[in-house]
Chain A
Amino acid sequence: MPSAEPRPAATAATRPAPVTRARGRAPRLRGDRYDRSEVLTAALFVLPAVTVLGIFVLYPILSAARTSLTSWNGYSPTKEFVGLANYTALLHDPALWNSLGVTVLYAAGVSVLGVVSGLAVALLLDSPIRARGLYRGVYFLPAVTSSVAAAIVWRYLFDPAGWVNTALGSVGVDGPDWLGNRWLALTLLTGLTVWKNLGFNVVLYLTGLQALPTSVFEAAQLDGANLWQRIRRITVPLLRPITFFVVIQALITTFQAFDLVYVLTGGGPRGGTEVLGMFMYREAFRLGDFGYGTAIAFATLFLVLAVSLVQWRVSGSGRSSLR
Chain B
Amino acid sequence: MNRRAATFGRHAVLLVGAVAVVVPFLWMFTTSLQTRAETYTSTSVLPTSWHWENYAHAWAAAPFGRYYLNSVVMALGIVAGHLVLDALAAYAFARLRFPLRDQLFVVLLAMLLVPTFVTVIPAYSLVAGFGWIDTYAGLIVPRLADVFGIILLRQYFAGIPQELDDAARIDGCSRAGTFFRIMVPLSMPAFATLAIFSFLFAWNDFLWPLLVTNSDEMRTVQIGLASFEGRYGTTWNYLMAGTVMATVPAIAVFMVFQRLLVRGIAMTGLKD
Contacts and interface: CB of A to CB of B under 8 A. Distances in A.
Contacts of A183: none
Contacts of A272: none
Contacts of A67: 121-122
B41 A157 contact: no
Contacts, number: 298
**Which of B94, B104, B141, B207 is packed against the most chain A CB atoms within 10 Å?**
B207
Contact of A256 (B117, B176, B236): B117
Given A56-B126, A300-B118, A170 B43 contact: yes
Contact of A297 (B10, B118, B203): B118
Interface in A13-66: 14-15, 30, 33-35, 37-39, 41-46, 48-50, 52-53, 55-61, 63-64
A231 interface: no
Which applies to chain A's interface (DSSP): helix, strand, loop or mixed?
Answer: helix
Interface stretch (A107-115, A200-208, A214-222): A200-208
Contacts of A185: none
Contacts of A250: none
A60 B123 contact: yes
Contacts of A3: 271-272
Contacts of B92: 41-42, 45-46
A121 interface: yes
Q: Number of contact residues on A: which range applies?
A: 35 or more
Nearest to B142: A56
Given A49-B86, A146-B250, A141 B111 contact: no
A182 B27 CA distance: 25
Interface stretch (B46-54, B58-66, B147-155, B184-192): B147-155
Interface residues of B, number: 105
Contacts of A297: 115, 117-118, 120-121
B145 A48 contact: yes
Contacts of B164: none
A206 B262 CA distance: 10
B111 A53 contact: yes
A4 interface: yes
Given A49-B86, A148-B246, A163 B121 contact: no
A248 to B, nearest CB: 10
A42 B206 contact: no
Given A46-B104, A64-B122, A161 B98 contact: no
A166 B265 CA distance: 38
Interface string A213-245: 000000000000000000000000000001001
Interface string B193-229: 0000000100110110001000000000010011001
Contact of A4 (B7, B24, B105, B120): B105
B118 A7 contact: no
**Which of A2, A124, A130, A133 is packed against the most chain B CB atoms within 10 Å?**
A124
B69 interface: no
B139 to A, nearest CB: 12
A145 B11 contact: no
Given A39-B98, A138-B22, A53 B206 contact: no
Nearest to A136: B262
**Which of B7, B89, B109, B126 is packed against the most chain A CB atoms within 10 Å?**
B89
Contacts of B109: 1-2, 4
Contact of B42 (A7, A137, A166, A255): A166
A138 to B, nearest CB: 5
Given A14-B162, A300-B118, A149 B247 contact: yes
B206 A60 contact: no
B180 to A, nearest CB: 11
Interface string A177-212: 000000000000000000100101001101110010
A290 B17 CA distance: 44
B107 interface: yes
Contacts of A300: 115, 117-118
A174 interface: no
Given A56-B142, A61-B111, A153-B27, 10 more contacts: A3-B271, A33-B97, A42-B97, A52-B142, A53-B108, A61-B114, A135-B14, A148-B204, A153-B243, A207-B269
5 closest residue pairs by CB, A with B: A60-B122, A146-B204, A49-B89, A42-B98, A49-B145
6 contacts: A45-B89, A48-B88, A129-B14, A148-B222, A149-B246, A294-B121
